[in-house]
Amino acid sequence: MTLNDEEKAQLRTRIKIEGTIDKTVFEEFRKILALEIEKAEEEDKVPPSVSHILEMLLRKGIKTYRTENK
């Protein structure tokens, strides 16, 4: 797969979103991001991106939402 093919594949599976959130939610997000980066550095791993952490939190939130609404 060439780089161009990889970029095209990401366009089919990744969607860029834009929105606004409450300041307290953003501050909590920043704390979680900092903790995850610190954890990765301690484990000598590549630090996660903002997108990675945001997706992780969204997935966990969706899972919790589904569990609570069954």
Q: Encode pLDDT of 8-53 as tens digits.
A: 666 677 788 899 999 999 999 999 999 999 999 999 999 999 999 9
- Cα–Cα distance, 69 to 15 (Å, whole number): 26
Q: What is the pLDDT of residue 42?
A: 97
Q: 57 in a domain, yes or no?
A: yes
**Domain coverage including residue 52:** 20-68
- Cα–Cα distance, 27 to 33 (Å, whole number): 10
Q: What is the pLDDT of residue 14?
A: 79
Q: 52 in a domain, yes or no?
A: yes
Q: 11 in a domain, yes or no?
A: no
Q: 54 in a domain, yes or no?
A: yes
Q: 14 in a domain, yes or no?
A: no
Q: 3 in a domain, yes or no?
A: no
Q: 15 in a domain, yes or no?
A: no
Question: Per-residue pLDDT for 5 more than 80?
Answer: no
Count of structural domains within the chain = 1
Q: What is the pLDDT of residue 31?
A: 98
Q: 62 in a domain, yes or no?
A: yes
